[in-house]
Structure 1
């Protein structure tokens, strides 16, 4: 049972229109905004992330934006720790909380557990990595199957990172993946004391694609290329999450001569549309029960009613 005021979550795919609606709702409901966008964490990554402008940030208090240097890595454990502190402080001030963003990896922290209690000893990780390098992925999958006689469920055995992570956890815990999944699901999430109300904004694909194209044109007009040049000088390549993110990886490829300048807008658009498809799949399969609202007709006054 929830012991604290409700948390309001506004999500939806890239370019659907979350920012302006979040501002309007927060202004009329005495709320503060907590970002759940994995790229808004980084200082200087402004244009390519469509980060809220200074004027927008001034309208409503925002949190968990510009908290990392470009070369600094963010992870779910740090996000949860900082989000818990921010949410508690907002509630203590007697204000409402609005979480907004479309990054499923971080968004899931508000709906359930995010990490189990399995600690992987460094020597075990080193052993498995050494064997992976010498024997290849197929040998690791064979070992993993031997530890899971009832099967691997939906694990993607073509994904080395997921196979190695699963093998580490099975070896370290002495449990099967099914047992680990059951134990994980039984844990309380970091925000279990709150009722979470979630709204997902939607748009027709043709309309969303047009908005994506408009956003890319605005980014390039706002000198995205110069922003990326400056970030590279600050160590952006040291942060794979940032350097591989859409808008930045294509611009880096262009600056390095791997992509013609004329192809930059279309390449960003192609990858953004692919991201939107992945986001929709995540929302459909991973997001707990929520309310779907067409962004074109969304009313801030009744958004969470």
Structure 2
């Protein structure tokens, strides 16, 4: 990758462009985001669903105070662990923050690996369906019978299938079932309806870069990160979060690193098993994320390899990318 390409990319640059930097867990998003933001006068808007929560610091590899001093970060530490976020609320917050950043003459860099939230910058979101309390209570009754029961109910209401939905994620299943019950429509019908809609984010010029590494190298980084997290006090962090009601939020308490540590504290694992479970599950997550990026947003930007045998400077992250919707 040459410097000429980088210059070409910058000619297309605009303060109104939303720059999006993503990639699977442990790929190195934070390091590159900070360097690029410092070099190009940007502020970072979080797009990682777990960084919303106060106190979930070690297990999420949340940017620390020194990193947030280097570059202003937004939409981090905005919820208690027992609270829940949905994509509709996230988009409202993101729009407000982005307007404020751009109004001060700064660039916007959206950073995170939560694909569901990231994709909302590119496509209208079906989650925007308003759901009544009665419907929420009905769906809660399904969820109380277990995730498998809720998935079965969802399949019954979607005879053409529910491909693309993460059926292992209780929050995603719950939201999907709420939308179907409230609207009386299938997920496919809702998706078609919302595809014709737009908002200020989907209409904005955007540049997307998806960071990657060789699988073996990424696996080594994941193993190293797990060790560092435990040394930094992950177990103690989870003990504090349990006192603050993290188990009231399925999305938070079932997230990798936290669910295994909760099980460890309940005596289900020993120390060695805890390390192994977090490492294996994180690697599985990374594989799942890679598949998602290729299938869902690959045509919106480009992949950039950060493997040890490549040499990529932060300035080249968005090189050659023209604004695109």
Instruction: Classify the TM-score, shorter chain.
Output: 0.7 to 0.9
Q: Deviations over 1:80-115 (max 9, x none)?
A: 111111100000001100001100111111111113
Pick closer, same or farther for the CA change 1:117–1:246 going to 2, 3 Å. Answer: closer
- How far has the Cα of 1:19 moved from its partner? 0.4
The CA distance in 2 between the partners of 1:160 and 1:223, in whole Å, is 27
SS state of the match for residue 216, structure 2?
Answer: helix
The partner residue of 2:54 within 23, 35, 43 is: 43
- Which position in structure 2 is the counterpart of 1:5? 16
Task: Kindly report which structure 2 residues correspond to 1:258-273, keeping only aligned pairs within 5 A, or say none.
Answer: 258-273=268-283
1:184–1:279 distance in 2 versus 1, CA, 3 Å: same
Match of 2:75 among 64, 89, 100: 64
Q: 1:179 aligns with which of 186, 189, 194?
A: 189
Q: Does 1:215 align with 2:228?
A: no
Decide which structure has the larger Cα Rg and report it. Answer: 1
| SS of aligned partner of 1:279 | helix
Q: Flag the 1:177–1:44 CA change in 2: closer, same or farther, 3 A.
A: closer
Query: For 1:144 and 1:46, how far apart are their aligned partners in 2?
Result: 39
Q: Report the Cα distance in structure 2 between the residues aligned to 1:144 and 1:37, rounded to whole angstroms.
A: 30
Report the equivalent of 1:30: 41
TM-score by length of 2: 0.81
Instruction: Name the counterpart of 2:315.
Output: 301
Quote the Cα distance in structure 1 between the aligned partners of 2:102 and 2:165: 40
Structure 1 gaps of 5+ residues are: none
C-alpha distance 155-227 of structure 1, shift in aligned 2 (>3 A): closer
Equivalent residues, number: 297
Task: Classify 1:173/1:185 alpha carbon distance in 2 versus 1 (closer, same or farther; 3 Å).
Answer: same
Shift in Å, 1:163: 7.6
User: In the aligned structure 1, how far is the partner of 2:226 from the partner of 2:292?
Assistant: 24
Structure 2 residue 207 is matched with structure 1 residue 197: yes
Task: Quote the RMSD (CA, aligned, Å).
Answer: 2.9
Q: TM-score, normalised by structure 1?
A: 0.86
Equivalent of 1:144 in 147, 157, 160: 157
Aligned partner of 1:110 in structure 2 is 121
Q: Which runs of 5+ in 2 are unaligned?
A: 1-13, 320-325
CA distance in 2, matches of 1:88, 1:157: 32
Alignment deviations for residues 262-286 of structure 1 (CA, whole Å, 9 cap, x no partner): 2111110011011111111110111
Choose from 90, 95, 99 the match for 1:79: 90
Preserved CA contact (<8 Å) 1:9 1:100? yes
